[in-house]
Amino acid sequence: MRSRVVVPCHPPVYVDPRLARDFKAAVREMNRAGIYPKITSTWRSSGDQNKMYQCSISQRCRISHPGLYRALPPGESFHEAGFAVDISGIATGPRGSKQLTARGRRIVQIMVKHGFRWRYGLMDPVHFEADPRKHGYLSLRQAIAVNQTRCQSAVASKRTARSNAPSRQAASPRVALKRAAGRGSEKAAKDIRTHQPSAVKVVQRKFQRDHKKLPRA
């Protein structure tokens, strides 16, 4: 049984195209400051958001995933809209007693400068988000609907392209010849195993019979 291939709808570190310019500018400024941020999450499908939400409300799951903070239910997360970014290394220390690192303080300053909110502070230090209404959307829900639909359309187009793409082996005459030769070899081997005469032997025997019927000179 073949395992189902998961087709990604968006490239890694995807944010809404309307936010991409501000996000890239923030990353460039960090790089100039000698900071190369480790981005752990950006856009998220509603399905993945639901999994995180279910885990966040389960004590057993939270124990198994100590790095998971509060997750909103699907349909309410800025990650689903492509307007949220998680960056690690902002704070250090145990949960409830975290302190900003010098690197984290600089990252927060740069992200805020480029239009991101550090919404939850040390309660969820990795999380930054931007307001979709400042980028042409009427609401968060509209931004979620657009980016989730965009994702589904991307998946559908990729699957259609894969199904319509000709097989490399079928398109190659060399491969076709090899396959034909392989089938011929398999048949010859089967003839030998089952003691059945091959096509060559049949022709040879017919030639010998006909030769015997010819009048001798």
pLDDT by residue (tens digit) across 181-217? 555 545 544 543 444 454 545 545 655 565 555 444 4
Q: How would residue 65 be classed by pLDDT, with cut points 50, 70 and 90?
A: confident
Q: Could you report the per-residue pLDDT of 69-92, keeping only the tens digit for each?
A: 778 999 999 999 999 999 999 999
Q: How far apart are CA 157 and CA 140, in angstroms?
A: 26
Percent of the chain at pLDDT exceeding 90: 54
Give the residue from 72, 88, 68 showing the smallest Cα distance to 80. 72
Q: Kindly state the tokens that stand for 22.
A: 């501000």
CB 26 within 8 A of CB 116: yes
Query: Domains (ranges, CATH) in the chain?
Result: 17-157 (3.30.1380.10), 172-213 (no CATH)
Q: How far apart are CA 123 and CA 137, in angstroms?
A: 28
How many whole angstroms from its chain centre is CA 199? 52
Please give the residue that has the higher pLDDT: either 27 or 186: 27
CB 207 within 8 A of CB 214: no
Distances (CA, A) of 38 to 8, 13, 88, 102, 135: 21, 11, 6, 15, 25
CB 129 within 8 A of CB 81: no
Helix, coil or strand: residue 41: strand
Mean pLDDT of 91-120: 95
* pTM to 2 decimal places: 0.68
